[in-house]
Amino acid sequence: MSVRQSLLAILDQGPCYGYQLRHEFDRRTGARWPLNVGQIYNTLERLERDGLVTRLDADAQGHIYWQITADGSAEVAKWLSSPVVRATAVRDEVAIKLAVAATLPGVDARAAIRAQRAETRGHLVRLRAEATTIGDADDAEQLARSLVMDSLIFAAEAEDRWLTHLEERLAAHPRHALALGLTQERPKRGRPSKSSGGAVLI
């Protein structure tokens, strides 16, 4: 989730102050990922440093407004017209935990999968119940909440399917064939190279 571009996109509609930006962000994302005001002001200061927004004078109530620049508007247009490229290096805690569990001798990985699936299905039930409380989708704020909720529900459904698939794969293999003991090979010091797969010595 790009807070930077989201705040810029809101400012492209007109000048705002910090708390106003937080409120506008919540309205457009179903208040699912709340921002603290400190995060907003840190982002605004970086945007100002990069020449994408300018700071205006305070109003009678002491609110400091921020205004987008032409370069900022150009960045918003580029962001909105470009696809989000998902990073392959994002760590998924569930995938890591279950992959490690599946390769540890003496660990019942299928029990770990069943426990995770129970949590995922409970989460899915809660999401679906929350989705029924969303009002008329013709209202822009309700539509935003509905779109975010759909994304969360589809992601939970996909995780449920993946967990079932994972359990079926483990069931098809003899348990002893999956266990990995500690290797006797001594790895070289360094990080694997992204390009060659070799070690980068440090």
User: Given pLDDT bands bounded at 50, 70 and 90, which one contains residue 176?
Assistant: low
Integer angstrom CA distances of residue 197 from 64, 158, 200, 201: 50, 31, 9, 12
What is the per-residue pLDDT across 15-54, written as a single tens digit (0 to 9) for each? 999 999 999 999 888 878 889 889 999 999 999 999 999 9
What are the sequence ranges of the domains in the chain?
A: 3-81, 93-178
Q: Which of 88, 90, 112 is nearest to 99 (CA)?
A: 112
Q: Which of 80-84, 116-120, 182-186 has the highest mean pLDDT?
A: 116-120
Of the listed ranges 69-83, 125-139, 149-163, the least confidently predicted one is 125-139
Global model pTM greater than 0.75: no
What pLDDT sits at residue 136?
65
Choose which CATH entry (1.10.10.10, 2.60.40.10, 1.10.3720.10, 1.10.20.10) describes domain 3-81: 1.10.10.10
Instruction: Determine what percent of the chain is predicted with pLDDT higher than 70.
Output: 89
Three-state secondary structure string covering 152-202: HHHHHHHHHHHHHHHHHHHHCCCHHHHCCCCCCCCCCCCEECCCCCCEECC
